[in-house]
A and B are shown apart, each in its own frame.
Chain A
Amino acid sequence: GDSVTQMEGPVTLSEEAFLTINCTYTATGYPSLFWYVQYPGEGLQLLLKATKADDKGSNKGFEATYRKETTSFHLEKGSVQVSDSAVYFCALSPYNQGGKLIFGQGTELSVKP
């Protein structure tokens, strides 16, 4: 079945460092891909998305590109801030399956000043 694999955490970075969180997926057809973020004490919220191959999603300085040839959707940010400390989830929505989401295991990011 469809699945999502994320790099394991926790990831600890210094402020202004470059961030990459790897995400690969297995799916039939053409899923939509998402990154969700869960800040401490808050609910899950959508960070960015891409709905077809070669789409680039971006938000709040984060970017991810839908790479069908490598079945990847890696999250990147050029300069992280302390306020980016959160748990990041990669997810996919299988094509034509009514909007369900399949999540990766989550990666905890801690940014130190």
Chain B
Amino acid sequence: SAVISQKPSRDICQRGTSLTIQCQVDSQVTMMFWYRQQPGQSLTLIATANQGSEATYESGFVIDKFPISRPNLTFSTLTVSNMSPEDSSIYLCSVEERLPGYNEQFFGPGTRLTVL
């Protein structure tokens, strides 16, 4: 199974600033996803990031606020821009691996962001 690391693991930021979160996978994967988990709530997909193409954003999320890079098959970044306290969440990346007979998603440990 894929092993995923994220940096930073947590951060406290001031409103109006931006933070870039890195996601590194130990194997080459085609599909990577970025999710947000707001306090006490479920996970919501922000965007799908495939190597070599523009990220696809879900309803309610825009590229200007959450720009994503996917320079190769093992790495992606998510930037949270012009932050406000409402952006305080855990941000998780995940990857999809094709296993015999099915596809499985593996999740990173998450980045806990607090915006003051």
Contacts and interface: CB of A to CB of B under 8 A. Distances in A.
Nearest to A32: B102
Nearest to B45: A100
Contact of B33 (A89, A100, A106): A100
A99 interface: yes
Interface in A9-54: 32, 42-46, 49, 51
Contact of A44 (B44, B58, B103, B107): B107
A89 B92 CA distance: 15
Nearest to B98: A99
Interface residues of B, number: 23
B41 A105 contact: yes
A11 to B, nearest CB: 15
Contacts of A42: 109
B31 interface: yes
A102 to B, nearest CB: 7
A101 interface: yes
Determine chain A's interface SS by DSSP, over half rule: loop
Given A99-B103, A103-B42, A43 B33 contact: no
Given A44-B92, A89-B43, A105-B41, A49 B102 contact: yes
A73 to B, nearest CB: 15
Identify which of A98, A100, A102, A105 gathers the most chain B CB atoms within 10 Å of its CB: A100
B7 to A, nearest CB: 14
B14 interface: no
A101 B104 CA distance: 11
Interface of B: 31, 33, 35, 41-45, 48, 56, 58, 92, 94, 96, 102-110
